[in-house]
Chains A and B, each alone.
Chain A
Amino acid sequence: MDNQVKMRAQNVDFFYGKTQALKNVSLDIYANKVTAMIGPSGCGKSTFIRLFNRMNELVPHTALRGKIFLDDLEINGPLVDAVDIRRRVGMVFQKPNPFPKSIFDNISYGLKVNGIKDKAFIEQKVEESLKKAAIWGEVKDRLGDSALKLSGGQQQRLCIARCLAVETEVILFDEPCASLDPISTTKIEELILELKKDYSIIIVTHNMQQAARVSDYTGFFLLGEMVEFGKTQDIFTKPQDPKTEAYITGRFG
């Protein structure tokens, strides 16, 4: 079966002021697959994934050339609402960022913002999202507690649940385990593998083993360019480009 393209970047250039951070990057993100972006710090991989839900336009003096599609929709098109894109393309950051509210309110917030008032529906959605994010068992008896009381790993799963509640389609993970211990990291990785059944996932990670473990496809970025893109098992066993090989074997220097 051919992979279905969920998102597509087409000849993307991106500038911070006069500095070009991305150079002519084209890439397909497949539905129900995990795509990992790897590369040294400053290579443009985070900038790149932030384009998929228009997060970069919140940064002043930036400019984008090229097109990004979500299904057939060009997400930067004139009539497209950025908030709607960010609902459909959720994001989980390096540092968990729960709202300073209760666990329940963290999840229900997005629904209420979207105009949903049906209490029973909201409760059901909260439970469903927390279950999908594999944290329900740990929080079900204290949904009224502040989310800030949770551990880092739990907060990160709560943030994932928050994306799921608003019926997101794509989840962007930007170094989701960078501040987590190995056990929490394993839980997040397992969760990513579980979530790809229903969502399309893009993950930026510095942890090469993590990219190898969780992703189906991997793109290697260097100095704003995508050097190589391919199936993860090929990238990690027989990369085609010597620059990819140097990076993943740690010979860079």
Chain B
Amino acid sequence: MERHFDQELSDLKKQLLKMGTMVETSIFESVEALKELNVERAIKVISDDKAIDDLENQIDECCLDLLALQQPMAVDLRFITMSMNIATDLERIADLSVDIAQRVMDLVGKPLLKPLIDIPKLANIAKQMSKDALDAFVNKDAELAGSVILRDTEADKLRNLVQKELIEDYMLKDTSTVTRAVPLLLIARHLERICDHATNIAEDIIYFVKADVVKHHPERLEGNN
């Protein structure tokens, strides 16, 4: 039986997907801006963030209305609480893209310290994890969500590698590199944080689909032996 409520839930899902697409663009653009050291692209990431913030507010309001007016239960309740969490994580991811764009602007006009190798790798992981988390949401795919969570360690390792290299090979050896090394160090940190938020989203999706709490319980995740 199709309920009127189903239409409202479907509208909520559409809003989240719209936000997800905007956030994916934001990550992509900030990474491209970095690769090209392109000020215009960086500025656009920063200015586009307002629309994402507004959408987060709309989604929150929509969720609160549904909670208050429909008193949802079971899968509906899980969907709405998950949506609120996902909107928060997406907004944070967008903020981190803005942070990356701002670091790009710090770097513009200065020669790159070194060719970018690991940071683009990390950026690819961050983009793919975010994309897969959203795909898992669209398709209610707990397995894909699980794979997102498992990839987070890879991101952590890569961030550590970048950090170690920048500190030990550059900053400690030649302090004049610090102004160019710190933005890269922060960018690696921002990208790794994006992966953390994608992981949160994936954990929420598993709760929504299977009612299993895997947050802070990685041992409950299938395939994590």
Query: Which residues on A are within 8 Å of B, measured CB to CB?
Result: 208-209, 212, 236-239, 244-245, 248-253
Contacts and interface: CB of A to CB of B under 8 A. Distances in A.
Interface centre among A208, A237, A244, A245 (most CB of B within 10 A): A237
A124 to B, nearest CB: 43
A248 B78 CA distance: 13
A237 B211 contact: yes
B74 A248 contact: yes
A112 B5 CA distance: 54
Contacts of A239: 74
A237 B74 contact: yes
25 contacts: A208-B73, A212-B73, A236-B77, A237-B73, A237-B74, A237-B77, A237-B78, A237-B211, A238-B74, A238-B78, A238-B211, A239-B74, A244-B74, A245-B75, A248-B73, A249-B72, A249-B73, A249-B74, A249-B75, A249-B76, A250-B5, A251-B1, A251-B3, A252-B1, A253-B1
A248 B3 CA distance: 13
Interface centre among A208, A209, A212, A245 (most CB of B within 10 A): A245
Given A238-B78, A238-B211, A249-B75, 13 more contacts: A236-B73, A236-B74, A236-B77, A237-B78, A237-B211, A244-B74, A245-B74, A248-B74, A249-B73, A250-B3, A250-B5, A251-B1, A252-B1
B10 interface: no
Interface centre among A209, A251, A253 (most CB of B within 10 A): A251
Contacts of A253: 1
A237 B74 CA distance: 4
B71 interface: yes
A242 to B, nearest CB: 10
B85 to A, nearest CB: 15
Nearest to B73: A248
Contacts of B73: 208, 212, 236-237, 248-249
Nearest to A250: B3
Nearest to A253: B1
Contacts of B3: 250-251
Interface of B: 1, 3, 5, 71-78, 211
A209 B77 contact: no
Contacts of A249: 72-76
Contacts of B5: 250
Nearest to B1: A253
A78 B189 CA distance: 77
A6 to B, nearest CB: 28
A15 to B, nearest CB: 31
Nearest to B207: A238
Nearest to B71: A209
A173 B74 CA distance: 25
Name the 10 nearest CB pairs between A and B, nearest first.
A253-B1, A238-B211, A248-B73, A245-B74, A249-B76, A236-B73, A249-B74, A249-B73, A239-B74, A248-B74
Contacts of A237: 73-74, 77-78, 211
A239 B76 CA distance: 12
Contacts of B1: 251-253
A237 to B, nearest CB: 6
Interface centre among B71, B72, B73 (most CB of A within 10 A): B73
A157 B73 CA distance: 30
Nearest to A251: B1
Contacts of B77: 236-237
A209 B72 CA distance: 10
A245 B75 CA distance: 7
Contacts of B211: 237-238
Nearest to B6: A251
A169 B214 CA distance: 42
A215 to B, nearest CB: 14
